[in-house]
Structure 1
Amino acid sequence: MKRHHKRFLLATFCTLFTATLQAADVTITVNGRVVAKPCTIQTKEANVNLGDLYTRNLQQPGSASGWHNITLSLTDCPIETSTVTAIVTGSTDNTGYYKNEGTAENIQIELRDDQDATLKNGDSKTVIVDEITRNAQFPLKARAITVNGNASQGTIEALINVIYTWQ
């Protein structure tokens, strides 16, 4: 009888413990992308020195400095890459132009492409990768402009970021 009782208790304990064990479905998610090898970014930094500008030349609304050319270069684009897109971003003021972070007031920065289209915050420019050299060039130009006139003395500083994508 004792032996029978021990077996009953053992069976009861096993039932209690196995009742708390449960199976769960497991989902394994695998993600990734197949992308083209990136082009090599040759122009990692472009510094534009506008030089000294005179307040007397920046008093009328729409007055501006001369244009300063910038070329952003990418090389060694893979054969699968046919176009490169540059997206420009930066702080803007209420005029929509890039904000001067320096001390001169009523001054903005204007950026244009080689077709004379103004590139404002979030705008993009796409160029075709040269089939022979496998290079891509973004000819741009920048200048200081006073949309409302009455520019004051001080420094001019702006930071424009460029994000590249390729297809």
Structure 2
Amino acid sequence: MLSPGSASGWHDVTLDLSNCPVGTSRVTATFNGTADSTGYYKNQGTAGNLQLELQDTSGARFNNGTSKTVAVNDATQSTRFPLRVRALTVNGGPTQGTIQAVINVTYTWL
């Protein structure tokens, strides 16, 4: 992961929502966190020259302030957001240390 554009493997994360309000047909998740100058989420750990990238499993990127809307299953009143995250170095030359970021998710029921 030394050269510009290098990245770690993906780590899968699924946000499962259950007991959605009756009458809800869709849910929008809006992702917010601290971005760095590259537009990716800033590493708040001790490793330098690293960013974090959040995507859905089809490859759509969710940088700070972006949203994704999914349908709610009427029968189960549930839905899910399958996501993945990885560390990457946009400019190369990462330094050793920890990797940490906080990405807040705000849900809007539609």
- Which has the larger Rg? 1
Answer 1 or 2: higher relative contact order, Cα 8 Å, separation at least 6: 2
Following superposition, the deviation at residue 117 of structure 1 comes to 0.5
Q: How does 1:44-123 map to 2 (within 5 A)?
A: 58-123=1-66
Count of residue pairs brought into register by the alignment: 110
Q: How does 1:152-163 map to 2 (within 5 A)?
A: 152-163=95-106
Percent identity (aligned): 57
Q: Normalised by the size of structure 2, how large is the TM-score?
A: 0.97
Following superposition, the deviation at residue 136 of structure 1 comes to 1.0
As a proportion of its length, which structure holds more strand? Answer: 2
Give 1:150's match in structure 2, choosing from 75, 85, 93: 93
Query: Partner amino acid for 2:3?
Result: Q
SS in 2 for 1:111: strand
| Runs of 4+ more than 4 Å apart | none
Alignment match, 1:139: 82
Gaps of 5+ in 1: 1-57
Q: Normalised by the size of structure 1, how large is the TM-score?
A: 0.64
Following superposition, the deviation at residue 76 of structure 1 comes to 1.1
